[in-house]
Structure 1
Amino acid sequence: MGHWWYRNIVEPGKLPLLLALAAFVLTFLVTRVITRLIRAGRGPFGNVRAGGLHIHHVVPGVVLTVIGGFGAVASDRHGMGGAVCAVLFGTGAGLVLDEFALILHLDDVYWTDEGRKSVEVVVLTAALVGLLLAGFAPFGVNDLSQQELQDRGTVIAGIAGNFLLALVALSKGKGRTAVFGAVVPLVALVGAVRLARPGSPWARRFYGRRPRARARATLRAYRHDRRWAGPRRALQDWIGGKPDPRPVRLPGRR
């Protein structure tokens, strides 16, 4: 285990990336637990205010991200300074992306349906960083044996092929499938061979003169969204908390 850790994590200089990913995920989870406790009025936590101004946690997140980012650029990735900066950067990024919807809408939409975008962005970011951590493992390791070179060559070829499948899925309007398919080959294959979503670049390019294909794609997209909207919302609620119900607007009132 120690040999594998050194050859695949420490020697290629990927320890800071692993630490940043761990800090990113842990910060997001802890932040969501704390905000849900604050929302429920439980525990010793409360909103941070300064002079009547509500300080969102995206503010310290930006500060930590800047410090960690510039510190990582200026430090050695194999040294202790690089590891510390990676943790700071991952922590800051977790705080920032937890309020991604607030930045996007320039409004406090944390506990609304629009706030679900923060959860989606965090999950996609963690998946992409995990892909970087796993996908680039064949690069940066020194003094490989012939057998290791051959095995890693096979891995590189597999990664390249799977990446092309993920690009096809992305062109078909399947962003989530493309991201997770970049990590799981079977997902990328399924996304690449299935019908494209209406309005995607693939559909505009190849379905323009095929009305039957357009109709099938539209029907399939409708059925897919109807089938998976509920489970997707339930998963998002479990991770990030259930949004507040929308206020009912009475007729004649604005």
Structure 2
Amino acid sequence: MGHWLYRNIVEPGKLPLFLALLSFVLSFLVTRTITRMIRAGKGPFRNVTPGGMHIHHVVPGVVLTTIGGFGAVASGRHGVGAAICAVIFGTGAGLVLDEFALILHLDDVYWSEQGRTSVEIVVLTAALVLVVLTGSLPFGVNDMTPDELHSRGLVFLNVVLNGMWSVIALFKGKVRTALFGIVVPFVGMVGAIRLARPNSPWARRFYRRRPRARARAMRRVYRHDRRWSRPTRALQDWIGGAPSPKP
């Protein structure tokens, strides 16, 4: 356990990433706790509305992310400065992605069904950073031997081939699989091989004259959504709060 902590967290160069991830998760959880209390009318917290204008927390989040990002570039990956910038950046990123749905829809959809996107993107981001923190590098570069890494051609070919799986999975409408495929190429390969989602660009292009493939894709999506939709929504509600019922 101690060796794992040193190799993946304390080892020089990885501590800032760990601090950024930790502050990102804590920032999101604290923000959601406060917003849920405001929504319920409990506690001392209130919306910030100077002059009647609601200031969303994405605004200070952008400021903190900018400061932390530029500070990290200037300070490098080592030293106290890098650690402080990592915390600032992670805190700001938590505030920004907590309102990702608002940015996406350009509307205050925080407590609507569309607002679930914010919770999903935060969980996905935290999971991807955790995978990188534990030793996985994008496009399977960490699986290459030292001799292979010295060859620019082999590195480029490895990145292109593994990136191709993620691109195909993305066109098949499998966004989560495509993102995880960037750091775990096998996941992207599985997504690229399996059937596309019915409304994806891949299905519209290649399934138009293949009614059997289109029907299989629709059945698979129906079974998948019927099995996972309810537990996924329950988890999202537990993490971020249930959306407000439609009037």
TM-score (norm 2): 0.79
Note the C-alpha offset of 1:182.
5.7
Moved more, 179-188 or 4-13: 179-188
Note the C-alpha offset of 1:110.
0.9
What is the one-letter code of the residue matched to 2:61?
Answer: G
Name the residue aligned to 2:240: 240
Residue 44 (str. 1) matches residue 44 (str. 2): yes
What is the one-letter code of the residue matched to 1:102?
Answer: L
Q: Structure 1 pair 4/132, CA: closer, same or farther in 2 (3 Å)? A: closer
Moved more, 187-196 or 17-26: 187-196
Instruction: Supply the distance in 1 between the matched residues of 2:163 and 2:131 (Cα, whole angstroms).
Output: 11
Residue 207 (str. 1) matches residue 207 (str. 2): yes
Note the C-alpha offset of 1:162.
7.6
Name the residue aligned to 1:135: 136
Q: Structure 1 pair 166/12, CA: closer, same or farther in 2 (3 Å)? A: farther
Name the residue aligned to 1:64: 64
| Unaligned stretches of 5+ residues in structure 1 | 141-147, 151-155, 248-254
Moved more, 206-215 or 185-194: 185-194
Residue 79 (str. 1) matches residue 79 (str. 2): yes
Larger Rg belongs to: 1
Instruction: Supply the distance in 2 between the matched residues of 1:238 and 1:181 (Cα, whole angstroms).
Output: 27
Aligned length, in residue pairs: 234
Retained in 2: the 8 A contact 1:10–1:78?
A: no
What is the one-letter code of the residue matched to 1:136?
Answer: L
Instruction: Supply the distance in 2 between the matched residues of 1:43 and 1:181 (Cα, whole angstroms).
Output: 43
Retained in 1: the 8 A contact 2:132–2:183?
A: no
Q: Structure 1 pair 4/49, CA: closer, same or farther in 2 (3 Å)? A: same
Q: Structure 1 pair 207/30, CA: closer, same or farther in 2 (3 Å)? A: same
Retained in 2: the 8 A contact 1:12–1:139?
A: no
Name the residue aligned to 1:96: 96
What is the one-letter code of the residue matched to 2:121?
Answer: V
Instruction: Supply the distance in 1 between the matched residues of 2:168 and 2:12 (Cα, whole angstroms).
Output: 30
What is the one-letter code of the residue matched to 2:69?
Answer: G
Note the C-alpha offset of 1:114.
1.5
What is the one-letter code of the residue matched to 1:174?
Answer: K
Q: Structure 1 pair 136/12, CA: closer, same or farther in 2 (3 Å)? A: farther
Q: SS at 1:135's partner residue?
A: coil
Name the residue aligned to 1:176: 176
Higher helix share: 2
Note the C-alpha offset of 1:221.
2.0
Q: SS at 2:242's partner residue?
A: coil
Note the C-alpha offset of 1:99.
0.9
TM-score (norm 1): 0.77
Moved more, 121-130 or 194-203: 194-203
Note the C-alpha offset of 1:4.
4.6
